[in-house]
Structure 1
Amino acid sequence: MNRKLYPKNWDAIARSLKESANWTCQQCGRPCRRPDESAEELVERLYNTPRWRDDLVDMIDGGPLGAIAKFRTGRFVLTVAHLNHRPEDCRPENLRALCAPCHCRMDLQAMSTKRAIALERQGQLNLFGADQ
């Protein structure tokens, strides 16, 4: 994330979108960690929700201790994605509140687009338009 490409008020824009999404991923519906909510509070809130428990907890072999629960709270972080992958474009219709896994999937699917945009920023011309 190159902060120089984002508007100065990016933090306020992102927070506003996350609040309007009620700290929930707009793609998959995953409830995400709220501001001022500790990791422990997140686990407590979601652990008894069967839909999210399997994604929240990985059981690992603890040897003589038996199975140990490892909490994956990073999967429950809400981010803001630019649908056209241009951080300077903060129009509401270009932004989505996405959990970390959904945001990663979106970025992975758009690697060629992101590379083309990076080359444009370095001065390479694009014969097909900005979104090609």
Structure 2
Amino acid sequence: MNRTRYSKDWKQIATAVKDAFNWRCSRCSRFYLRPGEKPSEQTLSQRRVYNLQVHHYNFDPSDNRRENLGCLCSGCHLYYHRFGRGNISPGQLSLFQSNGA
């Protein structure tokens, strides 16, 4: 039996969060391709290494409250988990603003 703490609609939730963050990493501000977009200069291996993920700030994958979710690229996500911290607090999630870059 395959047990997971992620909800059945996790893909839809994750896509909605990525859309809300304009497909940008909250930590390093790198932009990522939306589904169906064509890559410009990235190789396939670069796209696999650098992908946008949705992170649960309280480390509980069953807690999908909006204030608990944020977007991190794979590198920043790994850094966050490795050191158990990050530079974004859950209270900052609704304050995300694009700097026009």
TM-score after normalising by structure 1: 0.55
Instruction: Give the secondary-structure state (helix, strand or coil) at the position aligned to 1:96.
Output: strand
Q: In 1, Cα distance between the equivalents of 2:72 and 2:46?
A: 17
8 Å Cα contact 1:76/1:99 also seen in 2: yes
Instruction: Give the secondary-structure state (helix, strand or coil) at the position aligned to 1:5.
Output: coil
Partner of 2:8: 8
Partner of 2:76: 102
> Sequence identity of aligned pairs in percent?
36
Instruction: Give the secondary-structure state (helix, strand or coil) at the position aligned to 1:107.
Output: helix
Partner of 1:82: 56
Instruction: Write the mapping of 1:51-130 to structure 2, written as runs, cut at 5 A.
Output: 72-110=46-84
TM-score after normalising by structure 2: 0.70
Per the TM alignment, residue 9 of structure 1 is displaced from its structure 2 partner at its CA by 1.4
Per the TM alignment, residue 3 of structure 1 is displaced from its structure 2 partner at its CA by 6.4
Whose helix fraction is larger, Structure 1's or Structure 2's?
1
Q: In 2, Cα distance between the equivalents of 1:33 and 1:75?
A: 13
- For structure 1, list consecutive stretches of 5 or more residues without a partner in the other structure: 48-55, 58-69, 111-132
Report the AA paired with residue 32 of structure 1: Y
- For structure 2, list consecutive stretches of 5 or more residues without a partner in the other structure: 85-101
CA RMSD of aligned residues (A): 2.2
The number of residue pairs the alignment matches comes to 83
Instruction: Write the mapping of 1:24-39 to structure 2, written as runs, cut at 5 A.
Output: 24-37=24-37
8 Å Cα contact 1:74/1:100 also seen in 2: no
Q: In 2, Cα distance between the equivalents of 1:3 and 1:95?
A: 21
Q: Deviations over 1:19-67 (max 9, x none)?
A: 1111111111001121013xxx32x2xx4xxxxxxxx68xxxxxxxxxx
Q: In 1, Cα distance between the equivalents of 2:5 and 2:24?
A: 26
Report the AA paired with residue 77 of structure 1: N
Per the TM alignment, residue 84 of structure 1 is displaced from its structure 2 partner at its CA by 1.0
